[in-house]
Structure 1
């Protein structure tokens, strides 16, 4: 039996904090890192890595990420066949010096009644574009009336960066850039956002559109159990004909499993070190400790940990057959992070994320 654990956000971003895990009791994670065979691959977008894990070929072109994420939304009915979608996530734009920067919202910051009012206003004003809907307060969608002939950049690529470097490209680029400006005006002037600003709260003053791609046949099904809460990964799994469940370590140990743990992703993106440390300590208790025990006892034949980050992707392969190699000493996470070379600036436009 083997488990593949994908943990985006485990590698703390290079731009901040040396020793982010200092003082945390991460003995099981340190044992797994030290015991395993480690490799470090160049930066690759998270969605491209998830696609490859689910069997999509590298040369498949722009993936329909919005349609896939919409498919993976547990709170919404399955989308109709043949629909074209965009993710239309609410964001807050603000100026920092001469740059317009974008930040997303956590799941609990926008109130459901405010979201309902904003979505209703968008549908009244932009009915020619299609239909807006909200799966959660921070995950919205646009079901397009006509396919978008433009390329868009995923939200996670843009957080905290100058928006001007990630505007839509392609045949209808100017149309969609103008549309995004009009969306900003409508949202900025809405009473919900006026009230939020008056109360000192961040306004949802724009939408970030992304994830366009022509729907096409799903990748071939993979013969493993899929565990994930992330709706994009759930969508990949469902499109491939796989059963997908909520992450649960005990159930993962019942058979070969691919598990995506996204607990650390948003705290890492937002440099929220307190939340990152709290969640990492929880993962140590709920995942790394029982998996280390399973490897030592040979209940688990092999464990692979994949940790995509802004510097690259760490991979650790731990095998039960190697557990007796006492000279492989535990390697604390902070020590590992210090050993990783500083990030090389990745190109702002890369086809794997459009």
Structure 2
């Protein structure tokens, strides 16, 4: 039995004088990091890594991330397989000096009645584009009447950055840039946003379109079970015909599993160090400690941990036989993060040794 654990956000994205994991009691994670074989590969988008893990073809053009994410939305009814979709997530645009910056909404900031009113207005005003719908207060979709030949940038690539560097590109780019400008006027003037601004709350004054495309066939991934709370990963799994469930360490230990834990992703993206530390402590208790115990007790044959981040991707591999290799000392996450700041030194083959200069070897 083996488990592949994917933890985006584990590698803190910013270089900090004070270690983000400093002082945290992450005993089991340190044991895993010290016992395992570590490598650090150059940056690769998380979406591309997920597609590869899930056996989804990435060589036939842009990934249809909107269609995949919508497929993984448990609250929405199934749609025809040949439907073209766009993610149309509500965002807040604000000026910082001369730049217009994009901010995303957490799941609980927009109220359901506000979302319903805004989506109804969008369908009344922009019905020529297609049909808008909301799966959650911060995950919206546009069912397109016609396919688009435009390149859109994923929302997570744009958060906190000037949007002028991420505007739509391609044959229909001008249409979508004009549409975004018109959307901003409609949303700015809507009573919902006027009331939010009057109350000192951020308005949902724009939408961010991304992930255009139609579902394509996917191959069966290696794991017999996929565990995740992320609708995009759920969509990848469902497109491959794979059993998918919520993250549960005890159930993951019952058979080969691919587990994607997105707990750290948003705090890392927003540099919210307090939330990141709190959630990391919970992962230590709920995942790292049970998995370390399972390896020591030979209930788990192999563990692979992948941590995609802005600085690159950490890969950690352990087998049950590594548990008795006492000469491999624990390696704290704080020490690991400092060892790859500002960048890891590349080795032949595109990976880099993450062991700090005076750490025991991992041969």
For residue 312 of structure 1, what is the aligned residue in structure 2?
312
Per mean C-alpha deviation after superposition, the further-off stretch among 167-176 and 17-26 is: 17-26
1:31-85 CA-to-partner distances (Å, cap 9, x unmatched) read 1011110000001111110000011244232011000000000111112221100
What is the Cα deviation at residue 24 of structure 1? 1.2
What is the Cα deviation at residue 9 of structure 1? 0.6
For residue 132 of structure 2, what is the aligned residue in structure 1?
132
Residue 38 (1) aligns with residue 38 (2): yes
Q: What does residue range 104-253 of structure 1 map to in structure 2 within 5 Å?
A: 104-253=104-253
Residue 268 (1) aligns with residue 251 (2): no
SS at match of 1:128: coil
For residue 51 of structure 1, what is the aligned residue in structure 2?
51
What is the Cα deviation at residue 217 of structure 1? 1.8
Distance 1:41 1:146 in 2: 39
For residue 100 of structure 1, what is the aligned residue in structure 2?
100
For residue 326 of structure 1, what is the aligned residue in structure 2?
326
For residue 350 of structure 1, what is the aligned residue in structure 2?
none
SS at match of 1:194: helix
SS at match of 1:313: strand
What is the Cα deviation at residue 21 of structure 1? 1.2
SS at match of 1:211: strand
SS at match of 1:338: helix
TM-score normalised over the length of structure 1: 0.95
SS at match of 2:212: coil
SS at match of 1:76: coil
Distance 2:142 2:58 in 1: 27
What is the Cα deviation at residue 322 of structure 1? 1.4
Distance 1:262 1:314 in 2: 15
1:110-157 CA-to-partner distances (Å, cap 9, x unmatched) read 000000000000000000000000000000000001111101010000
SS at match of 1:29: helix
For residue 290 of structure 1, what is the aligned residue in structure 2?
290
Distance 1:186 1:175 in 2: 17
- Shift of the 17–187 alpha-carbon distance from structure 1 to 2, 3 Å rule, reads farther
When the two chains are superposed, the root-mean-square deviation of aligned CA atoms in Å is 1.2
The 8 Å contact of residues 89 and 207 in structure 2, kept in 1 or not, is answered as: yes
For residue 24 of structure 2, what is the aligned residue in structure 1?
24
TM-score normalised over the length of structure 2: 0.93
- Shift of the 15–180 alpha-carbon distance from structure 1 to 2, 3 Å rule, reads farther
* 5+ long unaligned stretches in structure 1: 345-354
Distance 1:96 1:34 in 2: 43
For residue 66 of structure 2, what is the aligned residue in structure 1?
66
SS at match of 1:19: coil
For residue 85 of structure 2, what is the aligned residue in structure 1?
85
1:189-221 CA-to-partner distances (Å, cap 9, x unmatched) read 111111111111111000000001243222335
Distance 2:324 2:98 in 1: 57
What is the Cα deviation at residue 98 of structure 1? 1.1
SS at match of 1:4: strand
